[in-house]
Chain A
Amino acid sequence: MCLGIPMKVIRIKDNFAQVQSGRLVRTACVQMLPKVKIGDYVIVHAGFAIEIVDPKRAKETLKIVEEIK
């Protein structure tokens, strides 16, 4: 159930967004994310976007391993 593949927000209308991963397009409720905007990647759980993915933090996480000698 927690298999949250990040999905890209392509459209927002009221409390709902169209989110996309590859060819899969779904509708997700974005009421939990007041700051969400088009182009953000979000984690979707049971039809609800629960969090926005932070690209800067993602790079930092990759860097922890990249920097291992």
Chain B
Amino acid sequence: MRYVDEFRNKKLILKAAGEIRRIMPDKRITIMEVCGTHTMNFCRFGLRGLLPAGLNFIPGPGCPVCVSHQSYVDAAIKLARREDTVIATFGDMLRVPGTQSSLERERGRGALVRILYSPLDTLKLSRSYPGKRIIFLGVGFETTAPTIALSILRAKADKIKNISFLTSLKLMPPAMKHLLGDKKLNIAGFLCPGHVSSIIGTRPYEFIPRKFGIPCCVAGFEPLDILEGILMILRQVNRNRPEVNNQYSRVVRPEGNPEARRIISRVFKPEDSYWRGMGSIPDSGLAIRSAFESFDAQKVFALEWGAGARNPATKCRCADVLKGLITPDKCQFFGRACLPEKPVGPCMVSAEGACNAYYRYNR
């Protein structure tokens, strides 16, 4: 088994979709897919067409560059403009619009911006540019946090002096809790993120069925995984017994990956964090511990963002998309003024951004 073809098997996909149609209750049901990769694959594999019309899907806040605060992007641009820096980042940060510029535009003006596959490659970069200060833009969720933590630990062990990390690392369950406090959001179930859960396990979601009575299912990313996740949520709806199911048990253990969490807490501590569209959410982010502050770009370059900073007034509705209040096509800019080549908001930039996925696959 290679764990790909089996979960793209047409016969099984049609069977799962048939079962969803058979057990679909006679009412409108809205499910939020929290993770941007779920949104992307849902669109990419055309799953919408297999499902009953009364079943609604809304993307959630699970796209890291989308939820990062505008002032974070501005801080990165400020660093890129310095003569003595090299900015290292995952590719999808490049075109995220800041208040006045983007990293891509700065690169066009001569800034050194390098796209890396892994934060660990920052260490190699530091040897290629011994006279420069390398800053890695660490944006992501629980899945990315241990990769940044291990890179910081390694940089410290290797006594590398010219590296720092500008992090905007966020935690999923606090954001889901925040969304549940919004009365405008009417959802019947959460499709929980697969790889975030491989780190945190299934227990951090248990408050959702217990306190809010809403079914959850952790699901994988192949088409059969997504359909099976939906099926498991509908079964919970029909039984009227909300709980946390784990469809992705081949990768996600109930206890998650304790070693990864130990690595995270060695380097980071929880802090309040600003999310685009949602404001400050208590303990929803990770701050670099003071023992590692020489690797914390925010401290090293005395940068401020988040607190007090506001996203600029624009009619771009990324914020409402991230909160699940509208689908991307309801924004007046979608597909007109806002295109993947010329994004107005971050949700159109990243491959995991809901607007980008809807634009590429759903039009």
Q: Which residues of A does B touch, CB under 8 Å?
A: 1-6, 8, 21, 29, 31-34, 41, 43, 45-48, 50-51, 53-55, 57-62, 64-66, 68
Residue numbers in A under 8 Å from B4 (CB-CB): 5-6
Residue numbers in A under 8 Å from B147 (CB-CB): 29, 45-48
Asked whether A65 lies within 8 Å of B250 as measured between CB atoms, the reply is no
Asked whether A47 lies within 8 Å of B121 as measured between CB atoms, the reply is yes
Does B83 sit within 8 A of A, measured CB to CB? no
Asked whether B90 lies within 8 Å of A1 as measured between CB atoms, the reply is yes
Give me 12 other A-B pairs in contact (C-beta within 8 A), A29-B120, A48-B147 excluded: A1-B352, A3-B221, A4-B195, A31-B259, A45-B147, A47-B117, A48-B118, A48-B150, A55-B1, A59-B1, A61-B225, A65-B19
**A3-B37, A47-B120 are known contacts. Are A58 and B228 too (CB-CB below 8 A)?**
no
**A31-B150, A58-B250 are known contacts. Are A65 and B224 too (CB-CB below 8 A)?**
yes
Selected interface stretch from B138-146, B273-281, B283-291: B138-146
- Total interface residues on B, CB under 8 Å, equals 49
Tally the A-B contacts, defined by beta carbons under 8 Å: 125
A29 to B149, CA, bound (A): 13
Q: Which residues of B does A touch, CB under 8 Å?
A: 1-4, 6-7, 12, 15-16, 18-19, 35-37, 64, 90, 92, 117-121, 140, 143-144, 146-147, 150, 193-195, 198-199, 220-221, 224-225, 228, 247-252, 257, 259-260, 263, 352
**Interface residue SS majority, chain A:** mixed
A51 to B143, CA, bound (A): 10
Among all A-B residue pairs, the 4 with the closest Cβ atoms: A47-B118, A2-B37, A58-B250, A57-B250
Asked whether B259 lies within 8 Å of A34 as measured between CB atoms, the reply is yes
Asked whether B118 lies within 8 Å of A33 as measured between CB atoms, the reply is no
Asked whether B119 lies within 8 Å of A51 as measured between CB atoms, the reply is no
* 17 A-B contacts (beta carbon < 8 Å): A1-B37, A1-B140, A2-B194, A33-B257, A43-B198, A46-B117, A46-B147, A48-B120, A50-B198, A54-B249, A54-B251, A58-B1, A58-B6, A58-B250, A61-B250, A62-B224, A68-B15
**A29-B150, A31-B263 are known contacts. Are A62 and B12 too (CB-CB below 8 A)?**
yes
Asked whether A6 lies within 8 Å of B16 as measured between CB atoms, the reply is no
Asked whether B198 lies within 8 Å of A51 as measured between CB atoms, the reply is yes
- CB-nearest residue of chain B relative to A16? B120
**A45-B144, A46-B147, A65-B224 are known contacts. Are A60 and B249 too (CB-CB below 8 A)?**
yes
Residue numbers in B under 8 Å from A47 (CB-CB): 117-121, 147
A50 interface neighbour in B12, B16, B225, B257, Cβ under 8 Å: B257
